[in-house]
A and B are shown apart, each in its own frame.
Chain A
Amino acid sequence: MANAPSSPHYRYLLRLADNALVLGHRLTEWSSRAPTLEEDIALSNIALDLIGQARSLYGRAITVGGDERDEDHLAFLRDTHEFLNVQLVEQPNGDFAASMARQLCYSAFAVPLWEGLTRSKDSELAGIAAKAGKECAYHLRHSSEWVIRLGDGTAESHQLMQRAIDDIWMFTGEMFELDDIDRQMIAAGIATDASKLLPIWNETLDDALAEATLKRPTDGWMISGGRQGTHAEHLGHMLAQMQFLPRAYPGATW
């Protein structure tokens, strides 16, 4: 099997792609199970947007890194430790409130990230960012409207929404971390400095939580390591299901 390319540019793109793929796959798990038909289609739309973003980003990464593997290989034949997504996006769907909390936290980060990446010196990445930014702006609107309605809804929905925000909070810090890969890519004008997106993210979250009458959790200890390939149990279970078919029937086609 070909080795994974190790250039910072390749790994930076792979992190972006893995975020989109893993969250996109999580949302497909709602298909046929969402609370209403309307919401079922809405979540499938968001999933398809994210999987589309992942495909573009894998394609770019393969070109940049000279990877001999194709995008299907990257999605379906890598093991858990080779996935470089933040742990936020691999968290299980939980109840609808948990999925909306996860979506809000990611989308509020993705919108300014893609906006910054439209100025990337990697012109293809800049093009992907322009398209992804519009999609994520809608995802942000969709999830924040739900968080607001559930938070400012019944006593039960308020309590479930608050629990969802509390539970996801420790996974949000990782999105704003920088390591050597990020610093090299920022210096090269390819990456956006994620650490500088935190004030924007805070403002988005504070506005939504205030309108939802929810309490912002205190920033405590944050989970880290997903972007370096460290994941807890959840991603493995998700990949086992997602990758079953191509692994059991190599080369299977429609």
Chain B
Amino acid sequence: MTDKNWPLYEVFLRPRNGLSHKHVGSLHAIDVEMALQNARDVYTRRGEAISIWVVPSRAIVASEPGEKEMLLEPATPERKPYRHPTFYDIPDEVGHM
């Protein structure tokens, strides 16, 4: 094992049917099959999942922190309050939303 820098993978778990996979962390592995095994060993020791996804970290396209103003700020609640359903009166019968 001359190269210790194995590729990085992101791990997603689905806790139960009906829920979506959720990012839980990352790990190193020598290939995709081993990444899946490592994910099982590192992240599902307490029965956390019924399904595992692993994705090479390099396959993830991430937004740039520097582009936050352009990409994400215009949609903050302060700027677009009407996109939040806060202008409706909810009848008491509906209960907790």
Known: A45-B45, A145-B33, A149-B34. A38 touches B2 (CB 8 A): no
A36 touches B28 (CB 8 A): yes
Q: Which residues of A contact B41 (CB under 8 A)?
A: 38, 41-42, 45
CA A179 to CA B6, docked complex, whole Å: 48
Q: When the two chains form their complex, are residues B37 and A42 in contact, meaning their CB atoms are under 8 A apart? A: yes
**Of A36, A154, A157, most B-chain CB atoms within 10 Å:** A36
The complex places the Cα of A36 from the Cα of B45 at a distance, in Å, of: 17
Q: Is B75 an interface residue (CB 8 A)?
A: no
For chain A, what secondary structure do more than half of its interface residues adopt (helix, strand, loop), or is it mixed?
A: helix
Taking A38-B41, A38-B42 as given, write out 9 further A-B residue pairs in contact, using a Cβ cutoff of 8 Å, ordered by the A residue number: A36-B28, A37-B27, A37-B42, A38-B27, A38-B28, A38-B38, A41-B45, A149-B30, A149-B34
CA distance in complex: A65, B45 (Å):
34
Min Cβ gap A39→B in Å is: 8
In the assembled complex, A199 has its CB within 8 A of some CB on chain B: no
B1-27 toward A: CB 8 Å interface, digit per residue (1/0)?
110001000000000000000000001
Are A157 and B1 closer than 8 Å at their CB atoms?
Answer: yes
Which residues of the partner chain A approach B40 to less than 8 Å between Cβ atoms?
138
| A positions within 8 Å CB-CB of B | 35-39, 41-42, 45, 138, 141-142, 145, 149, 154, 156-157
Question: What is B's interface to A at a CB cutoff of 8 Å?
Answer: 1-2, 6, 27-31, 33-34, 37-38, 40-42, 45
Query: Which chain B residues lie closer than 8 Å to A138 at the CB level?
Result: 40
A14 to chain B, nearest CB (A): 29
Contact of B29 among A38, A45, A141, A142 (CB under 8 A): A38
With A45-B45, A149-B30 given, is the CB distance from A154 to B2 under 8 Å?
Answer: yes
Please report the C-alpha to C-alpha distance between residue A5 and residue B40 in the assembled complex, in whole angstroms.
Answer: 41
Chain A positions within 8 Å of B29 at CB level: 38
| B37–A142 touching, CB < 8 Å | yes
Kindly report which residue of chain B lies nearest to residue A44, judged by CB atoms.
B41
Task: Determine whether the beta carbon of B42 is less than 8 Å from that of A41.
Answer: yes
Q: How far is the CA of A231 from the CA of B86 in the complex (A)?
A: 76
Once bound together, how far apart are the Cα atoms of A42 and B2, in whole Å? 21
Which residues of chain A come closer than 8 Å to B34, judged between CB atoms? Answer: 145, 149
Q: Is there contact, CB below 8 Å, between B37 and A145?
A: yes
B38 neighbours in A (Cβ, 8 Å): 38-39, 42
In the complex, which residues of chain A have a beta carbon less than 8 angstroms from the beta carbon of B28?
A: 36, 38
- Known A-B contacts A142-B37, A145-B33; the reply to A35 vs B1 at CB < 8 A is yes
- Give Cα A42 to B45, complex, Å: 10
Cβ-defined partner of A141 (8 Å) among B30, B31, B37 = B37
**Roughly how many angstroms separate A36 CA and B37 CA in the complex, as a whole number?**
14
Min CB distance A157 to B, Å, is 7
Give Cα distance in the complex from A149 to B3, angstroms. Answer: 14
CB distance from B3 to the nearest CB of A (A): 9
* A156 surroundings in chain B (CB, below 8 A): 2
Q: How far is the CA of A112 from the CA of B27 in the complex (A)?
A: 32
Q: How far is the CA of A45 from the CA of B28 in the complex (A)?
A: 18
The CA of A36 and the CA of B38, in the complex, are separated in Å by 10
**Distance A59 CA – B37 CA, assembled complex (angstroms):** 31
